[in-house]
């Protein structure tokens, strides 16, 4: 079943669009209308039998009253009416549907019966449906926001598939203050019909998507998920966070999306089998996604360069815990640095490479180039602590230059500081070199890059 | 339903899973004859489907080194079954094995299908939860990775008096279990615990198969 009409619609019907202030139906319709600003030929129809106009657009009392074809129908009406509306959409032969209404399997009992009812209707008609209890979908590169999210994020290369809508909203808001964006955001809701595995298959061919992130409460189609994830992770890295590991967590899942949380140990095995990178926090999910967008993947064997001994050791500890191997310095590498004339004679001569507190940009350059030249060092973690003689902007320039010379070896920076370091960090990030303000985050980001 | 001893042995042999030489006897004379064939020391275990923990009723005798000890142990088991009014189904005679205990199991996950578990035997599995899981079908490198994830791996490589064992043989058992899980769909769960490993051999000492 093709999902193209859902993800690249030429016409959208918003069922339950309303002018009522602070209502979901208004927010949703407002988001959908933005699509027309950039795509003039797109048709958008508000459906509401009780209103004549919504935000200046003439309403229809039913999709059946629209003459033109409808690619995507988004449904935001009370749960009891949803089966009737879904039936009408099937009669209209829409290309696909999204049900944002809540009160289905997640509410138990009667809700589950209602959900089964809409599922049997769409299955009979072979029309794909997202939800119910979903936030909707957003595709920033197309300026398409068919959701009731409070804002549209910037466009980027990260895709999100989430079984929670609220988490998506927080991530979007957070991303607006930072320097990353999204290719596709999908809230899968209760997954009555379309599931994470279906969306993975669709994202496989989506040219805008480079990295896929998953928020998982429970998988119901295990075999299909394994097959899809294994196939797609070969070309597009998949990062996942699985919630409901604790007993209390599990309980809130069953009352949340109505999915059965499998044993966490088995999920871990499934992630391992399919090459999914598992993380524990939403920050880690975004950190690793960002770094996978910006930097190439590499073999296990990295170098640490630092102007602060303590942070070097700390970073080495984190690396060891994560299974990141620190390469041993070859004699040739040590000699090269020794002979450079700019290095302090007391430099560490081992990995982590401590170039000492008074390190100049030149010392950074010499160490970085020597390490990148060593064949079995596949990537670098570069730490900068702020001393009175430290020059963050100059150091950033050295790093950017070196990365241009060795584009296949990833560099992750930990310029540690605040106000006085900010300009250096900005320069790094503008040149697609990620910086983390905490070494542990830097180490985890490197782990995400290791093949 | 739990398969009985002979059915269990049959399934394991079908999938080339090496089981420690053992037979069930009702007659003491026949049992002793078998013990002499497999050589002392041997272990005796009561066979009684109504008993969950054999050790708790004195139904397991270990370290039996000769004929005299054998006869005494056999009588003691018979006596305790009579005293506790347990339906006597026979006594299992098994060669006593020394080595590192591990456990391998299979269960069917309702979401991801058959899953293989690997872990340390005895307290390693119960107390330290030293186990790892893999989803079937499993390839050799995946099983190797599963074994390496556990703490017991350190012992299997040979550590202070613990014998260095042939990991390939352990991998083979897990792989055969993975094959079994995909072929014999009526088998719901398998527990090979313990499997005893030493320099010479790796043998399943106790197995439970649930259909």
Pairing of strands A155-162, A211-216: parallel
In degrees, rounded to 5, the angle at the alpha carbon of residue A313 between the alpha carbons of residues A311 and A318 is: 95
Question: Residue B113: which of A222, A265, A268 has the nearest Cβ?
Answer: A222
Domain that holds residue A199: 153-294
Residue A135's nearest CA partner among A143, A119, A146, A122 is: A146
Query: Residue range A83-89: average pLDDT?
Result: 97
A30 within 8 A of A55, measured Cβ to Cβ: yes
A171 within 8 A of A147, measured Cβ to Cβ: no
- Domains in chain B: boundaries: 21-95, 100-210
- How large a percentage of chain A has pLDDT more than 90? 92
Same domain (yes/no): A168, A241? yes
Please report, for residues A133, A139, A160, A161, B95, the alpha-carbon distance to residue A187 in angstroms, rounded to integers and kept in the order given.
9, 12, 8, 6, 59
pLDDT of residue A258: 44
Same domain (yes/no): A279, A313? no
- A359-364: Cβ within 8 A, 24+ apart: A359/A307, A359/A390, A360/A389, A360/A391, A361/A391, A361/A394, A361/A395, A361/A397, A361/A398, A362/A398, A363/A307, A364/A305, A364/A307, A364/A395, A364/A398, A364/A399
**CATH number of domain containing A387:** 3.40.50.261
Q: Of A133, A165, A181, which closes a domain?
A: A133
Say whether pLDDT at A279 is over 60: yes
- Assigned domain for A48 exists: yes
The 3-class SS string of A43-98 reads EEEEECCCCCEECCEECECCHHHCCCCCCEEEECCCHHHHHHHHHHHHHCCCCEEE
pLDDT digits (tens, 9 = 90+) for A94-140: 999 999 999 999 998 899 999 999 999 999 999 999 999 999 999 99
The answer to whether A220 faces chain B, any CB pair under 8 Å, is: yes
Decide if A265 and B111 are in contact by the 8 Å CB cutoff. no
The three-state secondary structure class of A138 is strand
The model's confidence at residue A179, banded by pLDDT at 50, 70 and 90, is confident
The answer to whether B136 faces chain A, any CB pair under 8 Å, is: no
A349 within 8 A of A302, measured Cβ to Cβ: no
Task: Give yes or no on whether B21-95 and B100-210 have one common fold.
Answer: no
- Assigned domain for A139 exists: no
Say whether pLDDT at A252 is over 60: yes
For residue A65 the two structure tokens come to 């009253």
- Closest-approach residue (CA) in chain A for B146: A269
Same domain (yes/no): A243, A128? no
Same domain (yes/no): A58, A125? yes
Please report, for residues A19, A46, A49, A61, A89, the alpha-carbon distance to residue A52 in angstroms, rounded to integers and kept in the order given.
10, 10, 8, 9, 21
In degrees, rounded to 5, the angle at the alpha carbon of residue A299 between the alpha carbons of residues A293 and A303 is: 90
- Closest-approach residue (CA) in chain A for B131: A265
Decide if B133 and A226 are in contact by the 8 Å CB cutoff. no
Q: Which CATH superfamily is domain B100-210 in?
A: ATP-grasp fold, B domain (3.30.470.20)
- Spell out the CATH class of B21-95: alpha beta
Burial of B198 (0-12, 13-18, 19+ CB in 10 A): middle
DSSP string, B152-204: HHHHHT-BTTBPP--HHHHHHHHHHHHHHHHH-TT--EEEEEEEEE-SS-EEE
Other Cβ atoms within 10 Å of A269 Cβ, number = 23
DSSP string, A292-325: HHHS--B-S-EEEEES-HHHHHHHHHHHHHHTPP
Collect all residues of chain A within an 8 Å Cβ-Cβ radius of residue B145: 272
Q: Of A229, A260, A294, which closes a domain?
A: A294
Instruction: Please give the Cα distance from A97 to A13 (Å, whole number).
Output: 9
The answer to whether B51 faces chain A, any CB pair under 8 Å, is: no
pLDDT of residue A259: 46
pLDDT of residue A261: 41
pLDDT of residue A254: 56
**CATH number of domain containing A10:** 3.40.50.720
Collect all residues of chain A within an 8 Å Cβ-Cβ radius of residue B113: 222-223
Residue A81: CB partners within 8 Å, gap ≥ 6?
A: none
Same domain (yes/no): A158, A279? yes
Instruction: Please give the Cα distance from A253 to A244 (Å, whole number).
Output: 7
- Assigned domain for A200 exists: yes
Min distance B117 CA to chain A CA atoms (Å): 10
pLDDT of residue A260: 44
User: Does A62 or B161 have the greater pLDDT score?
Assistant: A62
Decide if A266 and B133 are in contact by the 8 Å CB cutoff. yes
The answer to whether B145 faces chain A, any CB pair under 8 Å, is: yes
In degrees, rounded to 5, the angle at the alpha carbon of residue B7 between the alpha carbons of residues B5 and B11 is: 115
Say whether pLDDT at A17 is over 80: yes
Same domain (yes/no): A344, A443? yes
Decide if A222 and B142 are in contact by the 8 Å CB cutoff. no
Q: Which of residues 175-204 of A touch B (CB under 8 A)?
A: none
Instruction: Please give the Cα distance from A90 to A109 (Å, whole number).
Output: 26
The model's confidence at residue A41, banded by pLDDT at 50, 70 and 90, is very high
Say whether pLDDT at A247 is over 90: no
The answer to whether A296 faces chain B, any CB pair under 8 Å, is: no
A364 within 8 A of A355, measured Cβ to Cβ: yes
Same domain (yes/no): A287, A304? no
Q: Of A105, A133, A161, which closes a domain?
A: A133
Decide if A262 and B115 are in contact by the 8 Å CB cutoff. no
The answer to whether B149 faces chain A, any CB pair under 8 Å, is: no
Instruction: Please give the Cα distance from A46 to A27 (Å, whole number).
Output: 12
B20 within 8 A of B195, measured Cβ to Cβ: no
Same domain (yes/no): A405, A442? yes
- Closest-approach residue (CA) in chain B for A270: B135
pLDDT of residue B190: 93
Q: If you average pLDDT over every residue of chain A, what do you get?
A: 94
Same domain (yes/no): A300, A287? no
The order of strands in the sheet holding A155-162 is A144-147, A136-139, A182-187, A155-162, A211-216, A238-242, A277-279
A106 within 8 A of A255, measured Cβ to Cβ: yes
Same domain (yes/no): A303, A287? no
Same domain (yes/no): A160, A273? yes
pLDDT of residue B128: 74
pLDDT of residue A257: 43
How many domains is chain A built from? Answer: 3
Say whether pLDDT at A439 is over 80: yes
pLDDT of residue A265: 87
Mean pLDDT, contiguous 10-residue spans, chain B (211 residues): 90 95 93 94 87 74 93 91 84 93 92 93 75 94 95 90 92 96 94 92 92 90
Strands (E), A237-361: 238-242, 277-279, 302-306, 353-354
- Assigned domain for A115 exists: yes
- Closest-approach residue (CA) in chain A for B141: A273
The model's confidence at residue A450, banded by pLDDT at 50, 70 and 90, is very high
The model's confidence at residue A248, banded by pLDDT at 50, 70 and 90, is low
Same domain (yes/no): A203, A320? no
The 3-class SS string of B24-73 reads EECCHHHHHHHHHHHCCCEEEEECCCCCCCHHHHCCEEEEECCHHHHHHH
Residue A409: CB partners within 8 Å, gap ≥ 6?
A: A296, A298, A372, A377, A378, A379, A380, A403
Instruction: Please give the Cα distance from A380 to A371 (Å, whole number).
Output: 8
For residue A320 the two structure tokens come to 């060891």
């Amino acid at each position: 079943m093709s999902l193209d009409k859902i993800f690249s619609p030429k016409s959208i019907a918003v069922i339950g669009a309303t002018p009522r202030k602070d209502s979901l139906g208004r927010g949703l319709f407002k988001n959908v209308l933005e699509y027309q600003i950039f795509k003039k030929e797109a048709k958008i129809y508000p459906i509401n039998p009780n209103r004549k106009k919504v935000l200046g657009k003439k309403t229809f009392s039913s999709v059946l009253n629209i003459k033109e074809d409808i690619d995507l129908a988004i449904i935001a009406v009370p749960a009891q009416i949803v089966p009737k509306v879904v039936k009408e959409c099937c009669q209209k032969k829409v290309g696909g549907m999204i049900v944002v209404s809540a009160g289905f399997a997640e509410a138990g009992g009667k809700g589950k019966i209602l959900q089964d009812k809409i599922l049997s209707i769409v299955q009979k008609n072979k029309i794909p449906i997202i939800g119910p209890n979903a936030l909707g979908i957003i595709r920033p590169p197309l300026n398409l926001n068919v959701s009731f999210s409070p804002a549209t994020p910037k466009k980027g290369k990260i895709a999100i598939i989430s079984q929670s809508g609220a988490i998506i909203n927080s991530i979007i808001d957070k991303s607006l203050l930072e320097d990353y964006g999204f290719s596709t955001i999908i809230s899968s809701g209760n997954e009555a019909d379309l599931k994470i595995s279906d969306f993975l298959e669709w994202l496989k061919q989506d040219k805008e998507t480079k990295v896929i992130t998953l928020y998982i409460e429970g998988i119901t189609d295990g075999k299909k998920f394994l097959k899809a994830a294994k196939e797609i992770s070969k070309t597009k890295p998949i990062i996942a966070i699985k919630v409901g590991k604790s007993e209390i967590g599990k309980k809130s899942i069953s009352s949340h999306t109505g999915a059965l949380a499998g044993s966490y140990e088995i999920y871990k095995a499934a992630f391992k089998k399919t090459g999914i990178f598992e993380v524990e926090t939403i920050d880690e999910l975004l950190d690793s996604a960002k770094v996978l967008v910006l930097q190439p993947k590499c073999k296990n064997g990295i170098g640490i360069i630092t102007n602060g001994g303590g942070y070097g050791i700390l970073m080495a500890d984190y690396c060891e815990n994560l299974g990141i191997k620190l390469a041993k310095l070859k004699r040739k590498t040590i000699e090269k640095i020794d002979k450079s004339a700019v290095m302090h004679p007391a430099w560490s001569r081992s990995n982590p490479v401590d170039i000492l507190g008074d390190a100049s940009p030149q010392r950074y350059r010499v160490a970085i180039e020597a390490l990148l030249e060593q064949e079995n060092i596949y990537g670098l973690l570069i730490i900068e602590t702020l001393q009175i003689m430290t020059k963050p902007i100059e150091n950033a320039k050295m790093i950017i230059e070196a990365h241009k010379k060795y584009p296949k070896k990833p560099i992750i920076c930990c310029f540690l500081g605040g106000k006085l370091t900010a300009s250096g960090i900005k320069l790094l990030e503008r040149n697609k070199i990620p910086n983390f303000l905490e070494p542990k985050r830097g180490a985890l980001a490197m782990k995400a890059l290791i093949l | 339903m739990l398969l009985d001893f002979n059915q269990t042995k049959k399934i394991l042999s079908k999938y080339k899973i090496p089981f420690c030489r053992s037979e069930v006897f009702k007659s003491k004379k026949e049992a002793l004859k078998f013990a002499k064939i497999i050589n002392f020391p041997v272990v005796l275990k009561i066979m009684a489907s109504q008993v969950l923990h054999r050790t708790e009723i004195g139904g397991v005798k270990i370290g039996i080194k000769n004929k005299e000890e054998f006869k005494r142990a056999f009588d003691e088991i018979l006596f305790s079954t009579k005293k506790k009014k347990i339906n006597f189904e026979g006594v299992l005679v098994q060669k006593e094995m020394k080595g590192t205990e591990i456990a391998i199991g299979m269960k069917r996950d309702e979401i991801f299908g058959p899953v293989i578990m690997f872990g340390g035997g005895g307290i390693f599995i119960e107390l330290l939860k030293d186990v790892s899981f893999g989803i079937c079908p499993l390839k050799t490198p995946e099983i190797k990775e599963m074994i390496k994830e556990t703490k017991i791996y350190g012992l299997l490589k040979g550590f202070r008096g613990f014998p260095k064992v042939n990991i390939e043989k352990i991998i083979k058992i897990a792989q055969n279990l993975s094959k079994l899980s995909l072929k014999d769909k009526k088998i719901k769960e398998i527990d090979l615990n313990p499997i005893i490993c030493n320099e010479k051999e790796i043998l399943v000492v106790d197995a439970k198969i649930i259909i």
